Structure formats: structure tokens, C-alpha cells
Structure 1
Amino acid sequence: MTLLAMPFEVLPASASATSDAVDLVVFLVFAVIGLVSLGVIAAMVVIVVRYRRRPGNLTGRGHDHATIWRTEIGWCALTAVVFLGLFTIGAVTFDRIERVPTGPDVLDVAVTAKRWMWSFQHPNGRRELSQLHVPAGRVVRLHLTSEDVIHSFYVPAFRLKQDVVPGWLRTAWFRATAPGTYALACAEYCGTEHALMRADVVVMEPHNYDHWLAQGDDPRPPLAAAGRALFHKLDCGACHETHLRRRAPARGPLRPPRHPARRQQRPRRRRIHSPQHPAPRRRHRRRLPGRRHADLRRPRRRRRAAPARRLHPFARRRRGVSP
């Protein structure tokens, strides 16, 4: 047994009545998959090594049809028996899990999922937030609903996983076998804080659970009670309670003073213009390419066109211009 011990945990601890049946189906499926994979790999290695191509080892074209038929029928029958057996075991286990038990001893708990917390309500009206107390050895029937998006109620130790859909009322059940505290998580992505949507399932002895249930709700909400305890622990009343004589020391400057020589300028108020009060038009000097800005101060005079030169009659006659 020491040789078979593993340094890590393959599956979470089993703490419900249906955990063993679920573990049996999981181990059988993985065992069949592992054996088939090893068999296929071993057959490939043997065939590649034994029937490889080499001189003097040539196979003919003749086949024994009887051997081929026996091999095919035997392989198909073995495969069908194995997978039908797995299907039968899985169907029986699924029917056992989905068949919700009924009876006077069944404990009904209303479960409400919302981002990102779990809310529970017991039959006597007591509510819990992110923590569920249940008795050991008693069937607990959960009525699950969601207020916003799809969640998934998942308790690994109980092998229990049920989707919680908004607008639908889902039912799940479990019967815890061992007292203790077990993790509850949301197994369906539901938003930015999906990883923080966790809770604890506290399994108690039946007499301890009855005593806890008879205590009733805390008159103050859990968050308010925790906040008040933290308020007194950190002595926040020295500043935030008026009936106490203690006061906090004078508050110093929040930032260093400005330099005295530096002139403090008042921020210019930005005018908001409207169609009734449009913004004034600003005159911009026209800039022309290739000219300096100083040249724009004085307007540039236009040059007069040069008078046409009068040609000599001989030149006019040579160029073909009429006199």
C-alpha cells in the first residue's frame, strides 16, 4: 500500500453519500482510456519493429479471410461490451444523483446566487451569507435560483455541481457524511470578481446544528457587526464620535506652501460663447509664401507695364509686321 500512495491528491476528499459512486465512474473511464491508449501504442511499436521492410522478409498478398473476420468481430464485441458497461454504470449513477429524495427528514434550503456572493435561507427563516450550516447524515435539498446571470453551485467534496440559471428554479441535494468545513465555489464565469465568489459549507453534528439553528439571526447584519468591531478596534471614535472629548491633532498643510516670491496668478475665466453671444472675430495678418512678415506692413506697389518698343521699318518688314 505504501508503493501505491501518491504524493498529491488525485480527487478531493469524499464527504457525501454519492461521492464514491461518482469516483468509481471517473476511475473506470480513465482506466479504460489508459489501457486502450497503451494497447494502441504497444501494437504500433510491435508492428513497426517486427514487420519493417528488410531483405528476405517479404509478405505475400494472400490473406486468411476467416482470421480477419474473427479478429474484427472479436474486437467490435469487446469494444461494445466495455463501452456499454461504462454507459450502464454512468446511467445508474446519474439516475441516483438526479432523483431527489423526499421525506419528512429532508432539510430544504433556499439558495440565491448573485454577483458575487451566495445567500442561504433555512426553513425557520434564518439567513446566511457566504456560509451554509447543515447537519451530518441528513438529506439537504437545495432550491437554487439566480438574480442576475448564470452561476454554478459547485462543492468538490460532495461531487455536486448544478447550474443556477436566472428565472429558473433548480433543485439539487446531498447528504454529508463527515463533519467539517468544505469549500463552495462558482464554476461558471459570471463577471470580473468570479474568482472571489466563494463560500463555506459547515457540516455539523445534528445536535449542534439544532442548537445553532435555535439561536436565530443576529439582530445586526454580519457586515455591520464586523464594521463596528473594526471601528472600535482602530479607535476611530476619537475623530468620528461627537460625545467623546478626544479630538484628533490639528491637521497640517496638505501640500507645501507656495514660494513667496512667486506671483500667484488668478486663473483666467473661460468665456462660454453661444449663438446669441458669438465670439469676437480676430483679425489675422495675411502671410504670403516667400515674403517676410515685415513686408506686409507696407503695401507693395504694382509695376507699370513697359511701353512697347517701336521697331525700325526695316525690322518690321523683316519680321513680317505690317507698318
Structure 2
Amino acid sequence: MGDVWVRGVILMTGFSRYPKVEVIIFVLCLLMYLTTLLGNTILISITILDSHLHTPMYFFLSNLSFLDIWYTSSALIPMLANFILRKNTISFSGCASQMYFSLAMGSTECVLLSMMAYDRYVAICNPLRYPIIMNGRVCVQIASSSWLTGCLTALVETGPVLQLSLCGNSIINHFTCEILALLKMACVDTSVVQLIMLVISILLLPLPMLLICVSYAFILSNILRISSVDGRSKAFSTCAAHLTVVVLFYGTALSMYLKPSAVNSQEIDKFLALIYAGLTPMLNPIIYSLRNKEVKMAVKKLLIRNPFNALLTSVLK
């Protein structure tokens, strides 16, 4: 590990260049984090407590929610804490941990979203064989493989970065220890690290997207052959929710990690990272689950047990 990583602290400028809107950004980030925490915790809870939701789709959704909580927490909690404490520093070990967890959770989500597309393909194109193909053991293997892939690729990316020597006063123009921002602080040639990142980015972004596109091409072809209007509507509804999440997640990720080198604005990177870390995890449960009738019924059943939540129950009707 490079000497610079075992001593001192890193100063993060965050959004201090925008003092007039810094408080607004803090409030928005706090609201995004609390909403993310609430929405994803509700989804995980009802998936566990309601037996009707013990299906592969909701198993994968609960994994996605757990990922989003961890990812948003690793990115936003240090920033919110620094704002409250009126400091913009983080230890080098803390920075390394934050970078690893962000990369691991983001990489795992890339793989998991593609596996969820495969799940929808089997459910719609092979409904009779669905319980056999997507049995409990297979679902656990898919989820475990997604987590393992994400954690290992994050380790491969983080390891070489920790060997780099950082220049100057270790000031990072970002609100989080984002790997691209850290590479800009290096005093040595980073071409090898950038090559590793490019290869991993291609493996975790375009290739899973290709799998998603192929899955949905078959799904769309199958849906168009469904004679029932209600059947087509239900299938389109499920697919549209997943595709919205995919476009939001992959669109932001591609713009960050596969951006042309000529586009080098650190300020643009910060706002893209804020959308990637805060907005996407917040919208996932709303888009994919909390608008789903099965989920809404499960939430109402849980709330109706508590008379103090009658108002919330009426809202969900």
C-alpha cells in the first residue's frame, strides 16, 4: 500500500464552490437518503414477512434494495456528516473503504439487473417451466454470484489505486472518494489502472446491457403474441418498471465511466455521481415495487395491524 494511504487525511471540496446552494444540496441529499432508507427497508420487510412475495422476482428485488441502502449509505452519510460537523475531511483508510464499497455495490447491481432481466424472460417466455428453472437454489446461486462478482471486481480496481502515490496536499474535488477523482490526484502514470477500469467497465456495463436487450427482445416478441389484453398489460407493466430502472442506472453509470476523455469536467462528474448515488437508489423501490399492486397490498396488510397507521393505509388505497 502506498505510504500516503497510511497517514493523514484527504480534504474533499464537495460542493463548497457553490456556497449559495450548498445548504439546498444538503437538504436534498438528506431527503434522498431518508427516502431511500425508508422505501428500501419497507420493501425488504414486506418481502420477508408476506409469504405471497416469496417469489424469485421479489427475492431479487430485496437484494437490489439491500444493495441500494449500502451504496447510498457509503456515499452520502460521510458527506452529510461532514456538512453537519463543518469539516470536509476523511481519513485515507476511510476513503479506501468508501471507494471499495461504492465500487462493489455498483458492480453487483450491474450484474443483478441483468439477472433480473433473465428472470423476467423465463417468467414470460417459459411460464410453465418457471418454477423449475428459477427454483430457490438457482436464485440463491444467482444472487451469490452477483455479489461475489461485484466484490471481486471492486477489489481488482481498488488494489492498484491504493499503490499509487498522491500529489500535493491530497485535496479531492469531489464529495466522495470516487475512483476517477482519486486517479486525477496521482503523481505517477495511471495508464495501467485506467486500462483495468476500462476492461471491468466493459464487462460490467455493455455486456450485461446486451444480455438485458436480448432478454427483452424475446420478451417483447412473446408479449405481442399474447391474445389477452389484460395479460399483455400485466407483462408490459412488469417489464416497463424494470426497464426504467435499467435505463436510469446504466445511463448514469455509462456517462460516468465510459465518458470520452475529452469531456473532463470535474463539476459534471460530481453532479452525475450525486444522481448515481442518491437519486437512482431512491427511485428504484418507487418505480419497481411500491407502485406494484402486490406490494401495495402487502404494505396495507402490515399497516392495518397498527391502528395508528390508518392514515397511511388510506393513502395506499
Q: TM-score, normalised by structure 1?
A: 0.22
Decide which structure has greater strand share.
1
Q: Decide which structure has greater helix share.
A: 2
